[in-house]
Structure 1
């Protein structure tokens, strides 16, 4: 190294050490936290935006993608389609000028008796009373002209036959004993409760009396006596129904 000392022999001044650098300042962490918060906010906003885009893109097609036409299912009719009905008629029905005075007569169903058999023989007989056991009600419907029914000695009295079913009647025959009725009536019924008269007299003379039933429909037939011819009861040899 060459000698750089000045001439004249004077020694150079001693070299001084460079001044020490000033101590480094401690950086504040506030800026770091602010930067970190900003970065985090940006990242969160970006993530929310990406999620929003993903959701909306699945629900709404992109404008560049043409929408697909969804075919609609057509309902299949299960029944034939009828043409529209004609418009209602404007015609007005003519007023009724006449009204029937009574409803048509209804004839109850009944069984005929073409053979003319005595229906009382197969019926069920009853009487209001009997004079004695051997003068019971059945004695008047047994077909035996020698047996008879005789009632108690009082008025009124009746003898009734239930034919078991509705029949079309042609006649009722009464064969009186000496103790006959002078006032009586012959009645018929469909139910044994409501009776209809087909014959009545107040001048009965006994003997054999045939009452024309005229095709009357009935199930029950009875003789209803209201006055005796003597002090005894009402007595019938036979009570026949045809």
Structure 2
């Protein structure tokens, strides 16, 4: 199978996408080398990683950074509207600034692949802040987030198949595309961006306070040399 919902940002310095669906060791090497990836930043929980682990070949020059974030340690709050989904994202950046900074630090040092499970929510938040930190127009951030919508039918079908094998008791409606938690509506990212601006000001300042150095922030906005850029 493949990594889905895949697209490069920051001139290929950061590549975002889903978890690796069905990649064996050979296809993993092909995927990572094809995009020039030096670091895989895995935002999934331990249970998610155990279900679909990375099959990295030792000594191939690719580092794996496990930087898990549990999106709902006390259980997910009711999410029935796009605004409530955007508010959930705001809760994450309120509680996890060090996690956001650690997720983006590898991209400052070379091409990094950042992913969660669907490459939608945790990855979407990290990607949005990376784009904002280098001065990207917020409308571009909105477009990047909503680009996931086209990938969702395939993503949800593959996720349902993957989890039904691992957890046979999983109810069929767990990956119902009508669930707001499984959508990427424009209203969610707009709510997040407006709330973030009110609470934190600018993303570069947020990331600096979270632990990224001035040099790392500058690097995020610096195009890679052609030989280093993701293909």
Same fold (TM over 0.5): no
* Larger radius of gyration between Structure 1 and Structure 2: 1
Structure with the larger helix share: 2
Query: Shorter-chain TM-score: which interval?
Result: under 0.3
TM value normalised by structure 1: 0.20
More strand by share: 1
Higher relative contact order (CA 8 A, sep 6+): 2
TM-score (norm 2): 0.21
